[in-house]
Structure 1
Amino acid sequence: MDLVAPVVVEPLKRRRCSECHRGPLERMILEFNAPVCLDCADLGHLVFLPRGDTALTRRAREGSALWAVVVRHNRRRTRYERQGLLVEEAALAAAERACLADAEARARRRARDAERRAVLDAEVTTALRAEILRLFPSCPADRAGEIAAHASAKGSGRVGRTAAGRSLDRDAVTAAVRAGVRHVDTPYDTLLMQGVPRHQARTRVAPAIEAVLRAWRGDGGDARG
């Protein structure tokens, strides 16, 4: 089956997400002619790889289960021009390891690692990880840490940066865990790459997500609680 990569737009005008109303958006997708931020579009876990390094781009794209094309409109030429890709961080890291002879790729990896360390709020992340493990005691500790780190990145507007997330609201923490399970433990990303609309893909993977959450709760309770 041919893959259908999502198209992400870098808007020229200030736009806000039609779902969460966050903005202005650096990058967005358009659904029914309405702007949707990358987190609401389930692309927020991807990292940006600018165009220019053909080998690195090819390897990162081939290694990423979910990737998207980033474009920007050129008013002078009246056309959209490709700016790069959004790819999975693990795929980008693997591609950079394959391109270690490229000094620029090594520098880019170091810069990205430094940026990631700078945006993580250790206190928020630690508290969120502890609450995840309290609500889901059978969740693997490393997964709880990954989910907490992603949800609490500074400036992201994700669950860990909202008032509900910082107060460790049960529903907000569960939403962060559910999002992590969706990308790692279900074929959700594959469905998106096959052209399945986002809302349909979410419906199809919902039973699998709830099964994982029930297992992580360890008591057979309602994972939505």
Structure 2
Amino acid sequence: MTRIKKKGNHKKRHGKHRGRGQKRPADTATKESDTSGHRSPLASKVSRTNLPAKSKILPPSFDPLEKNIFERVPMPENYVFVPKGNVYITRHCRTITKESNRVVYLVYAKSGKRTRGIRVPEEVHAKVCDMETSTAKTRADAAEARDVKATSRNRVLLREEYPFMPAKSLKIILDHAFLKGSGRVGRTTRMSDERKAELAVEAHIRHVHTPYDELLNGGTRRDKARRMVWPAIKRIKKLWVDGKEEDTENEVIDLTSSPGPCDLSDSE
């Protein structure tokens, strides 16, 4: 029996014939997903470009009299901006504003990560500025008295812990590690006085009595340089504690030829 081909069905099944080298029309470029439910790379790229920029979120405030805002927020009526930097003014502006049952606005930069200052009522800021001026002499004298007392206490502590430390080294440590506003180890409040004294002594020995700085300048990594000079630090500390008849004031120890490993857990 002769079979008869149905041309109409053939056209429906195969559609329009494309010649060799002819590309298929890009009619699926704007589809968001394929039949399996996965987004196509092009669709994902298009959708991402249409997304709005991610908005910055400020940390929450749990004080009913404090409100976190961005610096672009308009200034409330009769308020002024108080920049960071003066602890006395910032602290008293915040306290007096809250005592009057008014809101203190904590101003954040546009990144939402750093604060710029606070906004407080104008008359509160003016009052605090007058207070700062009138009490400046008294506060300066009190601060100086505290510094003298702290220096005396630190000197006694260092002399008790390291009775044979050279006088020159003692003065350098007091002037350097315990310098007010330096941010160095002697000024921290997160450790005991004894520990601060120990770390201050180790830092002094490291920089003055060992080639630590030369090693760093020569390209040695910080952790490796510390390991190299640690034996010398321990030896000089022991000399200052035990009181052996040995001059360490101007001693410089060369460890570059024999570094040797050591454990830093006992140092800092």
Q: Shorter-chain TM-score: what band? A: 0.3 to 0.5
Greater RCO structure (CA 8 Å; 6+ sep): 1
TM superposition score normalised by structure 1: 0.41
Query: Bigger radius of gyration, 1 or 2?
Result: 2
TM superposition score normalised by structure 2: 0.35
